[in-house]
Every structure is written in C-alpha cells, then in structure tokens.
Amino acid sequence: MTATGIRANARIVARADGRGGTALPVLAGDGPLALRRTRASGSEARVMLVGAMSGPLGGDRFSVEVRVEEGARLHVGSAAATIALPGQTKSEARYDVRLAVADDAELHWLPEQLISAGGSDLHVTTRAELGAGARLVLREEQVLGRAGEEPGRLTSRLTVRVAGRTVLDQELSCGPGAPGGWDGPAVLAGHRSVGQLVVVRPEFAEKTIIARAVRDSSVLVPLTASAILVTTVAPDAWLLRQSLDESLRSLDY
C-alpha cells in the first residue's frame, strides 16, 4: 500500500500437464486479489478470483495477468461482483487485465459484474493476445451504480488481437465527466448495465456468421472469420447476464 492507494497483482500460468489435464505452475495473488483453484472439469483447470478487500478505491492500482500455454485449458471466474468505490484520494483507480492465449489453448474469462458506485472513478483496460489457433470466451459486464444511486465515472477499454492482428479496440466512458451523449439513444439509451462477449474459435472460419440482433438491445457482429462480438445493454445486471448467456448458446458453444 502507498500513500495514494493499494498496489496489487495476480498472476496465473496454465500449462498442459502431459496427461490430458492442465497444471497451474503459477497461481499467485496479493492484497485484495486472492486466487483459489477449484475442482477441474475434464482437461480444464478452474480458478476463482476472490476479493479479499473492498475496492478498487480511488488511487488503487490492480492488475491481473493470465497466460495459457499451448494445449492448456483454463476457466477463470470471480466469487462476487467487483465494486468500484470512492477513496480518500480524488485520483482515479486502475484495473488492468492482460490475457495471453497460445495456439491450441483455450481460456474462458468470465468474471462477475463490475459495479461503478457513486463517487468512484475507475479506468479498466482488458487486453487479450491470442495465437492463430487459440480459443477464447471473454465476458465483461458493467453496472452503473448500485440500487437507487447515480453511477461513478467508469472508463473501460477492451482490445483483442488474434495472430498479431487487432480485431477489436473499443472504449466506453460513462458517468460524471464522461463525454456527452454516453446515456443517450446512440449509446446506453438510459440503460444501467452494459456488457460485451467476445468469442474466438478457429472453427468459425468454416461457417457463415451474419450480424444479427439477439434481443431488442443485443447485437452479434463477426469481427473476423474466427472472432465474434456481442454487445448488450439492459436495465439491470440480471437481464444483462440473461442476454449474454442466450447469445453464447446461439453460437452452440
């Protein structure tokens, strides 16, 4: 911890164990970022990110690094929602996620919602680097404010690269001080929850996937022959999850 906030890092390395399963030679978290291995499912290792403290608060700097090596399968979830809260300092908090997935490796990155509480200021970046034959299911969900409160300031940037090529680089800024129009009809249209689902599978290249609406406020768009983006807005976190889950099922995943 420093005078301006907490610094915390979590690292996961998943590696094929040579017996049809996945080993975790690196599983390390400090401060509020605790990692717990849970029961494996077939060849897939499973890890839960457990928040050991409140936050991130103003001035905090959190980071998570995940590397899935060739032949490994990894599922990462979180035990509860992450709540961005105001801190004693007025500086923004940062939460950086770096994901690397090798050829013939698979990662399911499925954390619970991020809630932007009133008075908070959080900048989140998620960057995924994938090999040409990698598989990914990545879900992000943001909820603007708890029940009955205005949201804090939330800026979220998501970047996905496949085989060295950028297929997605988008940023959304919401809440007090964000560029005008973020709550208007062209962006959130008054909704309090927004989510993205990125699915990358080499097998998609053998199909014809057409952009389409999944629900009234959810759209599925192919990014490349192997990558698909689903963007959803909803009035609450429950409906947001339902829409993203329906989209994933529609891909027969």
Task: Give 40's contacts (C-beta < 8 A, 6+ positions apart).
Answer: 21, 22, 46
Q: Can you give the pLDDT of all 253 residues of the chain as single tens digits? A: 455 788 999 999 999 999 999 999 999 998 789 999 998 888 999 999 987 566 788 889 999 999 999 999 999 999 989 999 887 777 889 999 999 999 999 999 999 999 999 899 999 999 999 999 999 999 999 999 887 788 889 999 999 999 999 999 999 998 887 777 677 776 777 788 999 999 999 988 888 788 888 777 888 999 988 999 999 999 999 999 999 998 888 887 6
The mean pLDDT value of the chain amounts to: 89
Q: How confident is the model at residue 54, as a pLDDT? A: 65
What are the tens digits of pLDDT across the range 181-213?
A: 677 776 777 788 999 999 999 988 888 788 888
pLDDT tens for 34-70 read 999 998 888 999 999 987 566 788 889 999 999 999 9
